[in-house]
A = this chain, B = another copy of it.
């Protein structure tokens, strides 16, 4: 824009946000400048604090402000049950469901040899060390039900071959409240294979 290099730079910078193109970035910039300057300043501070201050928890690899995160440090969470997820948003979804009381390990990705992502990159060695040191009795492999997620789960399971640890995978099936007509064929097949007797 001819009228302001500062606005130009703001619009350009907003485009680093996922799903934000030129038009949306412009709309966001104008909105902040016209109506939400204090919100813009707050966002600026939050960004700089988070980009500098958020690191990986040394125990579970999840985002954390401290060396070891709040979940890992919480004595009320069982260390004997460890749930392996691909990303912080997966962890968050499980936390919001509210039922799980064990610990987590966040891979921050999945195995993807084609992209150069091997066991080292997603912290498998660290995971195995933790499994041993925490005397984990159940390892829940909650990676995504995708080709890469399944491959990652199998790799971890292979590495623990011969150990006493119970290794589980989340159940596939019809989403609660979901309509059968909208469920894909793979899920339906899994739901049929996993069918259970109706108990009174």
Contact = CB atoms under 8 A, between A and B. Distances in A.
Interface of A: 1-7, 9-10, 12-14, 16-19, 24, 26-34, 36-37, 39-54, 57, 62-65, 69-71, 74, 87-89, 91-92, 95, 108
Contacts of A42: 13, 16
Nearest to A46: B13
Contacts of A43: 13-14, 16-17, 44, 47
What are the nearest 10 A-B pairs in CB distance? A16-B39, A44-B47, A13-B46, A44-B48, A13-B43, A10-B50, A40-B51, A3-B69, A10-B46, A18-B31
A5 B54 CA distance: 9
A74 B2 CA distance: 10
Nearest to A106: B3
| Main SS class of interface, A | helix
Contacts of A10: 46-47, 49-50
A65 B18 contact: no
28 contacts: A2-B74, A3-B57, A3-B63, A3-B64, A3-B71, A3-B91, A5-B65, A6-B54, A7-B50, A7-B63, A10-B50, A13-B45, A13-B47, A16-B32, A16-B39, A16-B42, A18-B27, A18-B28, A19-B24, A30-B87, A30-B88, A32-B47, A33-B54, A41-B48, A43-B44, A43-B47, A44-B47, A44-B48
Given A2-B71, A40-B50, A44-B47, 19 more contacts: A2-B70, A3-B64, A6-B50, A6-B54, A9-B49, A9-B50, A10-B50, A13-B45, A16-B36, A17-B28, A18-B27, A26-B89, A30-B88, A33-B51, A33-B54, A40-B47, A41-B51, A44-B44, A44-B45
